[in-house]
Amino acid sequence: MQPRQPSVPDPQASPTQRFVYREFGNSDNSAALERGQPERPVGEQKIRVEASRKGRKGKTVTIIRGFQTNEATLETLLKQLKTQCGAGGTLKDQEIEIQGEHTQKIVQILKQLGYPAKASGG
C-alpha cells in the first residue's frame, strides 16, 4: 500500500474558484451575494434635506438622505430634482446630492411627491 500524497493546491486556480465543499448547483453565487434594498412605501421613509459645504472647497451642496428604495427609483427622482432645481447632482450611497443651496425647494418638491421630508441642519 502506497502512502497518501499530501494535496497540493493548484497554482492555476483563482481564489474565487476554490471551495471546500459544494453539494449542488453551479459555482456562480454572485446573485446571492448582492444586497437587496428593501422597498418601503413613500410615506414611511424619513427623508432629511440639508445643505453642506464640508469637504467641497467651500461649495454648497444640498444632500438628501434617508431613502429606503432601490437604485432605479433614486435615479428617476434624481433626474426630476436636477431638472426642477436647474442644477447638477449625483447619487452616492443611497443619498442624492444636488449642487447649490436648494433646501426649501427640494423639501416642497418631495412633499408634493408624498415623501415626509424635513429640512435639517442650520
- Cα(81)–Cα(23) distance, integer angstroms: 49
pLDDT, tens digit only, all 122 positions of the chain: 566 655 555 555 555 566 566 666 666 666 666 666 567 777 788 999 999 988 888 899 999 999 888 888 999 999 999 999 999 999 998 899 999 999 999 999 999 999 999 999 86
* pLDDT given at position 22: 63
CA atoms within 13 Å, Cβ hemisphere of 116: 8
- Cα of 92 vs its chain's centroid, Å: 6
User: Global pTM?
Assistant: 0.67
Domains and CATH numbers, the chain: 42-119 (3.30.780.10)
* pLDDT given at position 121: 82
* pLDDT given at position 13: 53
Query: Got the DSSP string for 32-92?
Result: HHSPPPP---GGG--EEEEEE-TTTTT--EEEEE---S-HHHHHHHHHHHHHHHTS-EEEE
